[in-house]
Amino acid sequence: MIFDADNHYYEPSDCFTRFMPSDRVDDAIRVVGEGDSARVVVGDRPFSFLKEPFADTHVKPGALREMLRAMKAGLAPEDNPVVEPVQPAYRERAARLALMDEQGVDAMVLFPTVAVCVEHFMKDDPARTYLNVHAFNRWLHEEWGYGTDGRIFGVPLMSLLDLDSALAELDAVLDRGARFIHLRPGPQGGRNPADPFFDPFWSRVDEAGLTVTFHISESGFNEMYSAHWGEDPNPSSHQQSAFQWTSFYGDLPIMQTLAGMIFMNFFDRFPNVRVMSVENGSLWVPYLMAAMDKMKGMGRNGPWPGGYLAGRPSEVFREKVFVSPYHEEDVVALADTIGASQVLFGSDYPHAEGLAEPLAFRESLAGLGAADQDLIMGETLVGLAAAP
């Protein structure tokens, strides 16, 4: 069974507006203006994280290095050899299923390109956030589905900015058969996402046996930290400095999120909840596990709002957290660290950062036994997608 934990689509410009109430369209994430003056806004705020997020062209799958070289050379999109029109399989379900058959992919967890990056721009407006989340999740269900076919598991968005609204949206996606949900890494409404305040939400997730995904996102950490270091507080994704990539984006949000959940004794309270880290890489995993084990002792006399954590934090991580590493990383070493059963194959197809051919990921598994390779390439994910 080949089950890809990290596939993407390219959203059309109406993904937030199609199901937005007509009297609230001004709150939607949408394109305003025409031609050279067109821009994407989130309500009344410019969306700056992605350049031309709803464009009809994209960088070819797996062409990251060529893309970065072209950007450095200042090539216009029309002169960039790695830019091509958006393919039907990146926007249409039937075409994607046909492509999956060609690629030898049996099933996939399917993430947005734009929608995982927008919540930061609405963080101070819960009403606007939930209007857009609800409209988007309805669009996602109509266009891609939530996985009831056993092949394409579209992942609906969640937010914990407002508990009552979060509960209503969770019920809506559960009614449509969702098996995965997405939260952006980082704090939620000024709280740890595992704060007991959110227990009514997590109780329903636990009862449904959902898998929670934390895909790399615009978590707002650049805005929190960059200005204090003299950096642009809201750079677009591929205009971040090397310092920002290292310090504020990627590793830091997911490390803090998982440590926050583990030290809040989250998994003792909700044993049926599984967590996937997607497209956050894995360089941070050994460090985080070692740091948590040490710092549990240092913090023994501090507060434990979710109850004292019994045992080693690293063992909780090994049991409850599943990691989809970058294909260029040492995947075998990661499997040795957390167990092959906790490692998930993710191609990031069709993004430039990912693989041009998803099954090429297996090359990074050389040295592992056949049984461990099968777990990573899909067997573990079959269990995570299954209903209890």
What confidence tens digit (pLDDT) does each residue in 180-234 have? Answer: 999 999 999 999 999 999 999 999 999 999 999 999 999 988 888 888 999 888 8
Tokens of 377: 């390439």
pLDDT computed for residue 172 by the predictor: 98
- The reported pTM is 0.94
Would you state the structure tokens that stand for residue 199, as one six-digit string?
Answer: 């227990």
pLDDT band at 139 (very low <50, low <70, confident <90, very high): very high
Predicted confidence at residue 221, as pLDDT, reads: 87
Taking only the tens place, the pLDDT of each residue in 5-16 is 999 999 999 999
Residue 184 in contact with residue 219, Cβ under 8 Å? yes
CA distances from 72 to 238, 254, 292 (A): 11, 29, 39
Phi first, then psi, for residue 124 (nearest 5°) are -95, 10
Stronger pLDDT, 66 or 87, i.e. the higher one: 87
Sequence-separated (6 or more) residues with CB below 8 Å from residue 44: 26
Can you tell me the distance from the alpha carbon of 343 to that of 161, in angstroms, rounded to the nearest whole number? 30
148 confidence band (pLDDT: 50, 70, 90) = very high
DSSP H or E run through 3: strand 3-8
In this prediction, residues 361-386 reach a mean pLDDT of 97
On whether the CB atoms of residues 185 and 117 are closer than 8 A, the answer is no
> What pLDDT band is residue 388 in, cutting at 50, 70 and 90?
confident
d(CA 163, CA 288): 29
| pLDDT confidence bin for 313, thresholds 50/70/90 | very high
Strands (E), 183-293: 211-215, 274-278
Q: How confident is the model at residue 76 (pLDDT cuts 50, 70, 90)?
A: low
> What are 284-311's pLDDT values in tens digits?
999 999 999 999 999 999 999 999 999 9
User: Which run of H or of E encompasses 116?
Assistant: none
